Structure 1
Amino acid sequence: MPDPPTIPELPNDQIPPIGSHFMVVFFIAGVVPNPLDIRFQTVSGISSTIETEQVTEGGENLFTHRLPKRVTYQNLVLKRGMVKGSPLNIEFGLAMDLMKFSPSNVLVMLLNEKSNPHASWLFKNAYPVTWTVSDLDATKNAVVIDTMELAYTRFQNLRL
């Protein structure tokens, strides 16, 4: 009986990255990196969808044409332990308390084992839309989590 075929190993640069090593950079006024607000527990909402429009063709009853219409995006959702005195908290406070917005660019970087960027996503003109504090519960010994949700005009996928 012949030996089963062996599956070749992937070269190191082809192994899918681990999603637990990442960094988030907020650019104050769109250009100056904020060095204090870079650590988050989770990042979600990196998603885009192309909306389509259905067009029926006269006399064609088997199908309809689906034509691309526009790209839509989910909100970017960031979670971290509650911190005091961060520029990001000030920006969220101004938005939530006074409806004053200063849209900025946000860079999310997936890092490799040497802390070099493996992939990045640049979110353009991001601004706060939701700020949630986790439940306070005297029966649990848990870190208080801030959840910050941002809308943005678009994002660019920057694969290296």
Structure 2
Amino acid sequence: MIQELTTPMVGYRFAALITSAAIPNPIDIFFKEISGLKVSRSIDYEGNRVSIKNERQTRTLTFKRGVLRTGSTLEITNFISLPQWNQFAVRNDILITLLNDNNLPTKAWLVTRAFMESWEWDSLDATRNDVLIESISFSYQSLVTVPIPFT
């Protein structure tokens, strides 16, 4: 038990649940890579006086995975709203969960009020034999750690 508490967690077993307009998408959860989990604050120095700036910083959370043949639920939802891409932004709440050997959550982060910023595909290259990777980026300001009770 003590060894489990002091052993670092692995970063290769995870899932992400992305909600679009408050509707969860439990099918579209597996990604190759997630980057951009970050919490920071601005410190202002004026002589010997230190203060914390109240402005919220915008971060970018990026998801990468292989392009699916049938299209993902996230892709279909985005395709439907594509005509209004420049007119409105859909709010997304994103729950990122680190999983143990039994696929149970061990650590989790919640990103609230994220907005899709971009969707990008790797270069098409006839000289490579790789999986085509798509990158989906969200702009966010709020990230909180979600407590997971010990199991």
Give the superposition deviation at 1:73.
Answer: 4.6
Closer/same/farther in 2, CA of residues 66 and 96 from structure 1, 3 Å limit: farther
Give the superposition deviation at 1:16.
Answer: 0.7
Alignment partners' CA distance in 2, 1:96 and 1:17 = 42
Closer/same/farther in 2, CA of residues 91 and 48 from structure 1, 3 Å limit: farther
Equivalent of 2:85, from 94, 98, 110? 98
Map 1:1-160; keep pairs closer than 5 Å.
11-30=3-22, 32-56=23-47, 64-70=48-54, 71-83=56-68, 84-93=70-79, 94=81, 98-99=85-86, 100-160=88-148
Structure with higher RCO (Cα < 8 A, 6+ apart):
2
The unaligned stretches of length 5 or more in structure 1 are 1-9, 57-63
Alignment partners' CA distance in 1, 2:102 and 2:58 = 31
**Matched residue type, 1:74:** R
What secondary structure sits across from 1:138 in the alignment?
A: coil
Report which of the two structures shows the higher radius of gyration computed on alpha carbons: 1
Give the superposition deviation at 1:95.
Answer: 5.4
Alignment partners' CA distance in 1, 2:147 and 2:12 = 17
**Matched residue type, 1:33:** P
**Matched residue type, 1:20:** Y
With structure 2 as the length reference, what TM-score do the two structures score? Answer: 0.84
Q: Calculate percent identity across the aligned residue pairs.
A: 27
Residue-pair matches, total:
143
Give the superposition deviation at 1:96.
Answer: 8.2
The unaligned stretches of length 5 or more in structure 2 are none
Alignment partners' CA distance in 2, 1:41 and 1:55 = 44
Closer/same/farther in 2, CA of residues 96 and 149 from structure 1, 3 Å limit: farther
Bigger drift between 83-92 and 73-82 goes to 83-92
Closer/same/farther in 2, CA of residues 119 and 96 from structure 1, 3 Å limit: farther
RMSD across aligned positions (CA):
2.0
Closer/same/farther in 2, CA of residues 96 and 74 from structure 1, 3 Å limit: farther
Closer/same/farther in 2, CA of residues 96 and 155 from structure 1, 3 Å limit: farther
